[in-house]
Structure 1
Amino acid sequence: MTIQKIEAHSSEAQSANLVADNIEKLKALFPELLTETVVNGQTTAALNMDVLKALVGDATVTDSDEKYGLNWHGKRKARQIALTPSTGTLRPAKDESVDWDTTQNLMIEGDNLEVLKLLQKSYAGKVKLIYIDPPYNTGKDFVYPDNFQDNIKNYLELTGQTEGGSKITTNTEASGRFHTDWLNMIYPRLKLAKSLLRKDGVIFISIDDGEVSNLRKICDEIFGEENFVSTLIWEKRYSPQNAVQWFSESHDFILVYAANKELWKPNLLERSDEMNARYRNLDNDPRGDWKPADATEQAGHGTPAQFYEFTSPSGKTFSPPNGRCWVYTKPRMEEMLADNRIWFGASGDNAPAIKRFLTEVKQGVACQTIWKYEDVGHNQEGKKEIKEIFPEAVPFDTPKPTRLIERILKVGTTDASNDLVLDFFGGSGTTAQAVYSVNKMDNGKRKFILVQLPEETADNNYSNIAEVTKERLRRSGKIVKGSDPLFTGDIGFRCFKLDTSNIRAWKPNVNDLKTSLFDNLEHIEPERSNDDVLYEVLLKLGLDLCVPMEAQQIAGKTVHSIGGGALMTCLDAHIGVADAEGLALGMAQWREAQGTATETTAVFRDSAFENDVAKSNLAAILEQHGIKHVRSL
């Protein structure tokens, strides 16, 4: 007989297994017992002792910390990060754009958390409809690792624009942070998105079973439970999958929340040919097609005046069936008979029916909550569209079909106004193509803002997903235009890219302050163009990135007038004493020629002025001519 030696590592392993087994048993019996806890920076599963005490009837448990809602580790920080201003900016990329000078559409390459922050001043309360298809929480890694300390630096490292390598958030089902990571990702983005919605705006969010319950609670908190509109069911597959363990999933969800449910109402959908085919003109009525409708209703809904005998033109009398009454009183029925609105059949002896004219019914139907794939497409259709646009391979497994987004646009926007549509998980660009397409259908003026992270892709044709997005916008615009050469709508986009601010931050060397002071005489980062600086000024002052803009040469300097003179800028590198008067007078004359009714802000480079005399002279002359807000960078 041999005695087995107990090794240190074996006992640890056994203990670990026993603990894991016990936790799994408790989880099976009482899933509400398990929570997440952070110890030394590691998130692990732990027991909620208050819940355990409550389950065994311990009276020492109080409800002082109980409240209705969804809580997770990091929620407070996620809320705070939505309130933290961005240190970045958006740099124009004209060479990657289409119809830069005329388009009202935006395609922004960057981390959507930072982009949403940067859009706050310019687009707060201006977005009519938001549609997003965020990464589903499938247990796979997703690339939205927000670094609350310096998200711009983190973003540049992630996308390979600076040294440091890529970082990916690990999000496996074995991780104690499986739901936490996803919630921390989506919460601040939705918080920022809400402030961009118009008062009569609406948001549609695609999601699957994995996080739909949590997403619903988050949206109740952010948008208000009272503004929940509906959970739509989209039939994403047309055939069952047999290689599944439980059920073959055929649908996804689309959560719909209004900014204010009292102000937003969905549009009616177009009547189908099948619906209209039910109307015919059997008696050549000059009012057009009609269909017969029951002339009776349940007796419990009627009054004594609705019970009577009714005589047809042929002399035949009719009474309502048992338990029914006529829908109208006798005088009203006789008026309708005189107006040829009662039908007695081709023979004239049938029971009376009410003629319902097609021209008098609602020219549309209410949108139902189940969206069938025959009407809005399915995943395979989305794949087919991608393959038709990109004969080369592209890295999208489950792109949404364009018809699905077209339905959302038809329900949530109108052709009569310049409704702004936002999608900050732009993906392959389906939303933009849908905007092009719906505008072509009804000659609408909808415009879009798309945001997409330049996430690396294994596809050899494109370095990152944002490149795919931009290319789809270019190709789909041509497809829409080619399908209707008479269409004159906007099929372009302005491209911007997230980057660090053009304006230098003050970072002195405490050991050499003199050198630091001289190094910071120029406040603009080197290798940044005047256009880079100009668009950062627009963002800081809250102006639209597609606002009308003109340029003139005044006193040998390039001057821009933005928004009809609301903003005037001169970002030339040198303004001497001799230049100040001519420049200021020229700007004032141009402002007057434009008939600018609003107050004007003028912006210059601080380092451009030859000295304080040049700066003070220019500011004084501008003020004398009504330009009182003068700023320098």
Structure 2
Amino acid sequence: MTSPPDRTAPEAHGTRDGHSTRDGHSTRDGHGVPEGRAARNAALLAGLFPGCVTEARDPDGSVRIAIDLDLLRTELGEHLVEGPRERFHLDWPGKRDALLAANRPAGRTLRPERDRSEDFDGTRNLFIEGDNLDALRLLQETYLGKVKVIYIDPPYNTGSDRFVYPDRFRERADDYRARAGLRGNSATDGRFHSTWLSMMYQRLTLARTLLREDGVLLVSINDVEQAHLRRICDEIFGEANFLTQFVWLNEGNVDQQSAVKGVHEYVLAYARDLPRLGRPAIIDPNVADESKLFNERIENSVTKNGPANPESVITLPAGFPASFETGEIATRDDRYPRILDPITVRNGRLTRSARLRSGWSSRNLLELFIANGCTPIRDAKGRATTFALTDRGAVYYVKHREPDAGHVVSVLRNMGTTKQNSAMLAGWGIEFSYPKPVFLIEFLIRTFSTPDDDALVLDFFAGSATTAHAVFRANAADGGNRRFVLVQFPEPFPGTAFGTIADLARERIRRSGAEVAAARHHGRWLRDVGFRSLRVDAPSLRDTPPGVRQEDLAAYADRAVPGRTDEDLLFDVLLRFGVDPAARIVRGRIAGHDVFAAGDLLACLSTVPPYTPELFVEAARRRPARMVLRDAGFAGDELRINAERLLGPGIDLRVL
């Protein structure tokens, strides 16, 4: 538990730059890395190299755990590369700045927008308006390791000088060319690769930390940056976690004359940890209905002769199954398998052992079946497998396909076109060029998530919100209850009925949700087609400025930014303490005070009337894991000093 901070102590009000603020919320270390992220990285290194753990003294005299870099160099030996030595990697102007930008503290918050939401109190879906870099930073604590599928369709690099995501590391064209020693046409120099790569690098770095261990990243891309994107994904995710590079046949207008008409794009797929990624449980929609992939049973002969399968003798024991009830098979030497002993079958089983000679395609499995007493075994794909002798003397295996068996191919065909989807949006009064086909995204979501998983799907380049529409369709089809988090920059959208692309996306979610919910759907689907709209904005809580004089501390007792509501403050609190901003929020009153309950947190953020002992006594009966209050709500020091005692043990008290 946290002791009530001393109102007269400057350090309790967060005056030390780079250390905890008054509510215990970490800001950054001395190198621009968020304290939480830096601490997690240090803990990982400490687990791998405990001998490198040491202590370091901060400027204020406090001692903290640290990593001894010299000892770490010794541990890594020749596997550590430093300085200007040659190495295999992708580099570009601004890469280091991009990584530093990704690691900066968010310095922002999310503000609720009830009037722009749909079923604000009941939905588990989020729509965030704002810069996706800020959003990814803000979501680190809440969704760390919780996202199952990330699908993004980032802006393709067209070589234009206009860029929608004006990150701080970006520089003017003239400055770049002067520094890089470039001359000539700005549309062909490296600046446009560098700017685009920096934009993607920092966002993918943050996105990786959000994925579950069995999660997957899917990125739509065209030929211009495909090779570069794959290189930076190899660096961030590791080459070993590359899953595939889907080729999507976009099947658009192909009758335009050109030297080579491009009719495809790509979807890069990377796993967070490939061995933990399960096999897809969906069959490519282009597979014919009569395909054996839809058969519950797979039957085939194990007789296979050739250089890779030399002849050998298998002894079928007494009791080996047969596919016929009664009969005899004489010895033979004129075809495979050659039968060396006469075979008698009664009640579907061999009455005595018999030897067969042939080449065998699944000898190891057959021998395992026999060793297992001729009871079902599992093949390498986990399918229940049995063997049986036919009345022609052949040995067949029978494999029982699992209900979640899938078949996905790397070429994605017949999944709609951008033209078709533009027409669909136009029918809703929404004008948007080149939206990704909803059928394509739905297929990808169903490929990498299951209906019983309650998977979280993230898209931080939301565009027209195709991903939200696809999540609705996927849930309606298989009864899942996946939920989404979408992020869209409020890019102006002149000449349309919408002020920004974010406005358009919200309308698309409303229209598509209503349409999918009204159509025929799976009975298990909970029909959550709402979304909680949030906006990236300046924090609702002020930090006490560094160096404030002790006699001026009282002026900062109320840290709320003027004009912010209690609900604004609540969402600031949720993010600070890692509570899901999509969590159900329950308003109530305790001892005459308005309170919020969200997750395991209880918050009393109204300062009128001032806090009373009864508030803490009643709150203690509810046993929240954490209770959050405002400093300005205390009328005096006595109740502050006694607050934790009134709450009792096991409740973490935080004062803002």
Q: Does 1:586 align with 2:618?
A: yes
Answer whether contact 1:271 1:364 (CA < 8 A) is retained.
no
CA shift in 2, pair 1:471/1:92, >3 Å: same
Pick one of 60, 68, 71 that aligns with 2:88. 68
Offset at residue 254 of structure 1 (A):
1.1
User: Which deviations, in whole Å up to 9, do the C-alpha atoms of 1:570-594 show, x marking residues without a partner?
Assistant: 1112354xx5211111111232xxx
TM-score when normalising by structure 1: 0.73
Pick one of 257, 267, 282 that aligns with 1:254. 267
CA shift in 2, pair 1:265/1:326, >3 Å: closer
Offset at residue 275 of structure 1 (A):
4.8
CA shift in 2, pair 1:522/1:172, >3 Å: farther
Answer whether contact 1:235 1:250 (CA < 8 A) is retained.
yes
**Which amino acid counterpart does residue 422 of structure 2 have in structure 1?**
K
3-state SS in 1 of match to 2:201: helix
Partner of 2:583: 547
Partner of 1:103: 123
Partner of 1:235: 249
Partner of 1:168: none
CA shift in 2, pair 1:183/1:262, >3 Å: same
Q: Does 1:270 align with 2:283?
A: yes
User: Which deviations, in whole Å up to 9, do the C-alpha atoms of 1:303-345 show, x marking residues without a partner?
Assistant: 33279xxxx97989751499x8465899999x99x9986487x
Answer whether contact 1:604 1:631 (CA < 8 A) is retained.
yes
3-state SS in 2 of match to 1:262: helix
> Residues of 2 paired with 1:271 and 1:363: CA distance?
13
Answer whether contact 2:248 2:267 (CA < 8 A) is retained.
yes
Pick one of 167, 175, 179 that aligns with 1:146. 167
Partner of 1:496: 534
**Which amino acid counterpart does residue 417 of structure 2 have in structure 1?**
H
**Which amino acid counterpart does residue 480 of structure 1 have in structure 2?**
V
CA shift in 2, pair 1:398/1:521, >3 Å: same
Offset at residue 176 of structure 1 (A):
4.6
**Which amino acid counterpart does residue 606 of structure 1 have in structure 2?**
D
**Which amino acid counterpart does residue 497 of structure 1 have in structure 2?**
R
Q: Does 1:304 align with 2:312?
A: yes
> Residues of 1 paired with 2:583 and 2:163: CA distance?
35
The alignment-based identity, stated in percent, is: 34
CA shift in 2, pair 1:237/1:620, >3 Å: same
Higher helix share: 1
Pick one of 551, 558, 578 that aligns with 1:522. 558
CA shift in 2, pair 1:306/1:477, >3 Å: same
3-state SS in 2 of match to 1:301: coil
User: Which deviations, in whole Å up to 9, do the C-alpha atoms of 1:159-184 show, x marking residues without a partner?
Assistant: xxxxxxxxxxxx96245511111111
**Which amino acid counterpart does residue 631 of structure 2 have in structure 1?**
D
Partner of 1:210: 224
Offset at residue 536 of structure 1 (A):
0.9
Partner of 1:534: 570
CA shift in 2, pair 1:455/1:562, >3 Å: same
Offset at residue 562 of structure 1 (A):
2.5
CA shift in 2, pair 1:64/1:143, >3 Å: closer
User: Which deviations, in whole Å up to 9, do the C-alpha atoms of 1:549-601 show, x marking residues without a partner?
Assistant: 333212211122222xx32111112354xx5211111111232xxxx5xxx22
Partner of 2:335: 319
CA shift in 2, pair 1:295/1:606, >3 Å: same
Quick check: 454-463 or 566-575, which moved more?
Answer: 566-575
Offset at residue 267 of structure 1 (A):
0.8
3-state SS in 1 of match to 2:641: helix
Offset at residue 411 of structure 1 (A):
1.7
Offset at residue 386 of structure 1 (A):
2.2
Matches within 5 A, 1:123-162: 123-140=143-160, 141-147=162-168
**Which amino acid counterpart does residue 104 of structure 2 have in structure 1?**
T
Partner of 1:180: 194
> Residues of 2 paired with 1:506 and 1:356: CA distance?
73
Partner of 1:605: 630
> Residues of 2 paired with 1:138 and 1:601: CA distance?
49
Instruction: Structure 1 unaligned segments of length 5 or more: list them.
Output: 1-62, 150-170, 281-286, 345-351
Partner of 1:283: none
Answer whether contact 1:306 1:326 (CA < 8 A) is retained.
no
Offset at residue 268 of structure 1 (A):
3.7
Offset at residue 208 of structure 1 (A):
0.7
> Residues of 2 paired with 1:109 and 1:371: CA distance?
31
Offset at residue 618 of structure 1 (A):
3.3
Q: Does 1:630 align with 2:653?
A: yes
Offset at residue 225 of structure 1 (A):
1.5
Partner of 2:27: none
Offset at residue 529 of structure 1 (A):
0.6
Aligned residues: 513
Partner of 2:469: 433
3-state SS in 2 of match to 1:199: strand
3-state SS in 2 of match to 1:543: coil
Quick check: 463-472 or 100-109, which moved more?
Answer: 100-109
**Which amino acid counterpart does residue 626 of structure 2 have in structure 1?**
T
CA shift in 2, pair 1:313/1:227, >3 Å: same
CA shift in 2, pair 1:105/1:321, >3 Å: same
Partner of 2:452: 416
Instruction: Structure 2 unaligned segments of length 5 or more: list them.
Output: 1-82, 171-184, 316-326, 339-357, 376-385
Answer whether contact 2:297 2:401 (CA < 8 A) is retained.
no
Partner of 1:152: none
> Residues of 2 paired with 1:615 and 1:288: CA distance?
67
Answer whether contact 2:337 2:394 (CA < 8 A) is retained.
no
Offset at residue 430 of structure 1 (A):
0.8
> Residues of 2 paired with 1:82 and 1:328: CA distance?
52
> Residues of 1 paired with 2:188 and 2:409: CA distance?
38
CA shift in 2, pair 1:273/1:495, >3 Å: closer
**Which amino acid counterpart does residue 633 of structure 2 have in structure 1?**
A
Partner of 2:213: 199
3-state SS in 2 of match to 1:569: strand
> Residues of 2 paired with 1:288 and 1:568: CA distance?
52
- Point out which structure has higher relative CO (alpha carbons under 8 A, 6+ apart): 2
User: Which deviations, in whole Å up to 9, do the C-alpha atoms of 1:10-31 show, x marking residues without a partner?
Assistant: xxxxxxxxxxxxxxxxxxxxxx
Answer whether contact 1:194 1:223 (CA < 8 A) is retained.
yes
TM-score when normalising by structure 2: 0.70
Partner of 1:366: 407
Answer whether contact 2:430 2:504 (CA < 8 A) is retained.
no
Partner of 1:122: 142
Quick check: 88-97 or 566-575, which moved more?
Answer: 566-575
**Which amino acid counterpart does residue 138 of structure 2 have in structure 1?**
L
Offset at residue 145 of structure 1 (A):
0.3
Answer whether contact 1:436 1:477 (CA < 8 A) is retained.
yes
Partner of 1:570: 604
> Residues of 1 paired with 2:296 and 2:147: CA distance?
41
User: Which deviations, in whole Å up to 9, do the C-alpha atoms of 1:326-373 show, x marking residues without a partner?
Assistant: 65899999x99x9986487xxxxxxx877776855886443111111x
CA shift in 2, pair 1:215/1:278, >3 Å: closer
3-state SS in 2 of match to 1:492: coil
Answer whether contact 2:628 2:653 (CA < 8 A) is retained.
yes
Answer whether contact 1:267 1:412 (CA < 8 A) is retained.
yes
Q: Does 1:85 align with 2:105?
A: yes
Quick check: 232-241 or 470-479, which moved more?
Answer: 232-241
> Residues of 2 paired with 1:112 and 1:123: CA distance?
15
Offset at residue 490 of structure 1 (A):
1.8
User: Which deviations, in whole Å up to 9, do the C-alpha atoms of 1:199-239 show, x marking residues without a partner?
Assistant: 11110111111111111111111111121111111111255
Partner of 1:445: 481
> Residues of 2 paired with 1:615 and 1:361: CA distance?
61
